[in-house]
Amino acid sequence: MRTLLVLLIATAMAGCQREQRELRLDPPTAAALDKIALMPNGISGAPPNVYFALDKPYESNAYNLSQGKRLYSWFACKSCHGDGQGGIGPAFLDGWWYYGPEMVSIFASIRDGRPHGMPAFREKMTTEQIWQLAGYVQTIGAYRAKTAAPSRNDEKQTRPSENRAPAAKLFDEGPTPVHPDQGPTP
């Protein structure tokens, strides 16, 4: 009986642990986060070691995803990519990543720009902001559902929420199979 009670209390206490918000990134850490290793063709590569030391904070931390969502509208990503459906720029919702779905590719696309109109944001945003935005963009076209979600929309929803893995349906065997080129890199 007593063991059961202790177990119950321990289970309840486990719920007290909340996600940590890293509000202030130390300048040396921010500088180190900028040192990504990109493949020569600009697609995929490796994030710096500090990214793993921080436990990949920009993919799974709800606060960072929310900040990324804020930056998505602040830096007018919507004007080309819409609400993820695309427009002048490519869509994120369809799961078709021109430069792969890895964080480093998205980070490099935002920081350095890409051919055919994607501008570089190196001079407009800090490294931390670019990582936050990259995490959010990856979430829009994620293949797998995330437990962390950015804040909800105030305006009308035009698509499923970001954490509902909108691109996952592309891999359903369903009545109309997807294009063989689409999907996550092996």
Partner 1 sequence: MTRVMKPAALLPLALMLAGCDGWQSAWDVHGESAISLKQLIILIVAVCSVVWALVMIALIVALLRRRVRAEPPVAVDAGTERRMTITVVMAVAATVVIITVFTVSSFFTTRALSVAGGDDLTIKVRGLQWWWGVEYFGASPEQRFETANEIHIPVGRNVRLQLEGLDVIHSFWVPSLAGKQDLIPGRPNELTLRAERAGVYRGQCAEFCGLQHAHMSFFVIAEDQAAFDQWVNAQRQGAAAPPDEETAAGRQAFLSKPCAACHTIRGTAADGKTGPDLTHVGGRTMIASGLLPTTRGSLAAWIADPQTLKPGNNMPMVPMTPEELRAISAYLASLK
Give the residues lining the site for partner 1 (CB under 8 A): 21, 23-25, 27, 30-31, 67, 70, 74-75, 123-126, 128-129, 154-155
According to DSSP, residue 176 is labeled: S
**CB 26: neighbour CB atoms within 10 A?**
9
Q: How far is the CB of 120 from partner 1 (least distance, A)?
A: 12
Q: How far is the CB of 26 from partner 1 (least distance, A)?
A: 9
The alpha-helical segments, DSSP class H, found in the chain are 2-14, 27-33, 49-53, 57-60, 62-74, 78-81, 103-112, 127-140
Sequence-ordered list of residues with C-beta below 8 angstroms from that of 75, at least 6 positions apart, any chain: 121, 124, 125, 133
Q: For partner 1, give the closer residue by CB, 30 or 38.
A: 30
Pairs from 109-114 (Cβ < 8 Å, separation ≥ 24): 110/134, 110/137, 111/34, 114/42
| Phi, psi dihedrals of residue 45, rounded to the nearest 5° | 150, -155
Q: For partner 1, give the closer residue by CB, 31 or 53.
A: 31
Q: How far is the CB of 72 from partner 1 (least distance, A)?
A: 12
Residue 76's nearest CA partner among 133, 160, 155 is 133
Q: How far is the CB of 112 from partner 1 (least distance, A)?
A: 15
Q: For partner 1, give the closer residue by CB, 126 or 163.
A: 126
The vertex-142 CA angle with 129 and 183, nearest 5°, equals 130
Q: How far is the CB of 94 from partner 1 (least distance, A)?
A: 29
Q: How far is the CB of 110 from partner 1 (least distance, A)?
A: 13
Assigned token pair, 33: 């986060």
Q: For partner 1, give the closer residue by CB, 21 or 35.
A: 21
* 3-class DSSP state of 145: coil
Q: For partner 1, give the closer residue by CB, 25 or 178.
A: 25
Q: For partner 1, give the closer residue by CB, 1 or 76.
A: 76
